[in-house]
Structure 1
Amino acid sequence: MTRVVVVDDQALVRQGIRGLLEVAEVEVVGVADDGQSALDVIAATAPDVILLDLRMPRYDGIWTLKQLRGRGIGIPVLVLTTFADDTLVLDALRAGARGYLLKDVTLEQLTRAVHTLAEGGTLIAPSITDRLLRAIRSGPSPVGADAPPVQDLTERELEVLRLVAEGYSNREISEALFLVEGTVKNHVSTILLKLGARDRTNAVLRALHEGILR
């Protein structure tokens, strides 16, 4: 059973998400009402996935993402919020979020997203994808102005990168391309190096910005 922590400043939302996920056999091992309390709960429970709201008083979602990254905590974060602002989406992804959903999703969509992230994939709500792509391509590089130049990817690496962009986990990529999972992991590591990216989400963002993915 996938274990999650829910971070949201509204008690009713936390209770509602807990109840829904437990019906879907996803275990909620902890809840928090802001970023600071979230760090304590996450340290105590070591969940598989973190569900994180962005707009919270005191310590918000972006602050929490930066703290997790700064402390070397690699637990995948699924942003679950009511806000689809382009800048906010990009800020969350650049800060390390692996998924971004709006709170109008169905239980099935939320559950699938949780499992996708737990298995190493990424997922962004289709309703914001087109706007996000336009914002990425028209703005500065997602990895910063001091990032190294992009190196050419092989055809196989491009195949892997396309599946990463679609949210596939390493296991799913290995099945789709008939590769050993360890080989997929090696390809992903090489892709990150060639794109100068720190993680899968950042690699996809830079690939979109550079026109490698369309």
Structure 2
Amino acid sequence: MKLNHVSPARAIEEDEARSLLKGQTIGLVAGNPLLLAAMNLLEFFRGKVLWAVTCEKEALQEAAVQAPDLVILTDELEQGYGPSLIKELKTTAPNTHTLIFLAKETAVVVEECLEAGAEGICFNSNISDGDGDFVKALRAIAKRGVYYPEQVRKKAGYVGANPFAMVLPNDITEREKEVLVGLTEGLSNKELTAIR
């Protein structure tokens, strides 16, 4: 994989990320200390990071003291597990949103993240060719929506001939289906109410 760090598209994405994160506070959680340090050094995170840790327990302790607006994390932690951390954060810091990057790109892990309540799920393998997944996730979360790119939805079994039959009860209304589709596309509550 080769990253082109000076491309015009990348500069536009960085500007949008900077704009979307304006006024936001961030917690970073990654099991790999090198990755954590690199994330912490990103220019568009400057002045926004409240804390950066490698373990689930440390993240929960920090969030109890200073709950950030957004926690960006990985599934693999030095101690603990990303989806488990998301689930705990939803209890201890309910206003904190989460964006998780998955190294383990399996249906089981995706399902664990969905059940935990992650607002954004991205695959590590799509970082260089994910069509701006990071910025799209930030955009959706800023609108109080969710972002699950097509690769994630496919892995979870939500893309196919009849995805609703796979995961939803039979008595779901058409309106409920529309809302769920809108949520997977990252629509905000205001945008969801405008559908119709």
Is TM > 0.5 for Structure 1 vs Structure 2? yes
Q: Does 1:162 align with 2:188?
A: no
Distance in 2, matches of 1:70 and 1:128, equals 25
Cα pair distance change 1:110/1:141, threshold 3 Å: closer
CA RMSD of aligned residues (A): 3.4
TM-aligned CA deviation for residue 109 of structure 1? 3.2
Q: Which amino acid aligns with 1:162?
A: V
Q: Does 1:50 align with 2:82?
A: no
Local SS of the residue matching 2:68: coil
Q: 2:144 maps to what in 1?
A: 120
The answer (yes or no) to whether the contact 1:7–1:51 under 8 Å persists in 2 is yes
Distance in 2, matches of 1:102 and 1:26, equals 26
Q: 1:94 maps to what in 2?
A: 115
Q: 1:17 maps to what in 2?
A: 39
Q: Does 1:105 align with 2:127?
A: yes
Cα pair distance change 1:133/1:171, threshold 3 Å: same
The answer (yes or no) to whether the contact 1:76–1:118 under 8 Å persists in 2 is no
TM-score, normalised on structure 2?
A: 0.69
Q: Which amino acid aligns with 2:183?
A: V
Q: Does 1:38 align with 2:55?
A: no
Distance in 1, matches of 2:92 and 2:185, equals 28
Cα pair distance change 1:139/1:54, threshold 3 Å: farther
Local SS of the residue matching 2:50: strand
Q: How many residues align?
A: 169
Q: Which amino acid aligns with 2:38?
A: G
Cα pair distance change 1:138/1:178, threshold 3 Å: closer
Cα pair distance change 1:171/1:14, threshold 3 Å: farther
Cα pair distance change 1:80/1:39, threshold 3 Å: same
Aligned-pair identity (%): 21
The answer (yes or no) to whether the contact 1:7–1:14 under 8 Å persists in 2 is yes
TM-aligned CA deviation for residue 26 of structure 1? 8.1
Q: Which amino acid aligns with 1:130?
A: K
Cα pair distance change 1:160/1:127, threshold 3 Å: closer
The answer (yes or no) to whether the contact 2:74–2:101 under 8 Å persists in 1 is yes
Q: 1:61 maps to what in 2?
A: 82
Q: Which amino acid aligns with 1:133?
A: G
Cα pair distance change 1:15/1:129, threshold 3 Å: same
Q: Gaps spanning 5+ residues in structure 1: where?
A: 143-147, 180-214
The answer (yes or no) to whether the contact 1:48–1:118 under 8 Å persists in 2 is no
Q: Which amino acid aligns with 1:132?
A: A
Local SS of the residue matching 1:38: helix
Cα pair distance change 1:92/1:70, threshold 3 Å: same
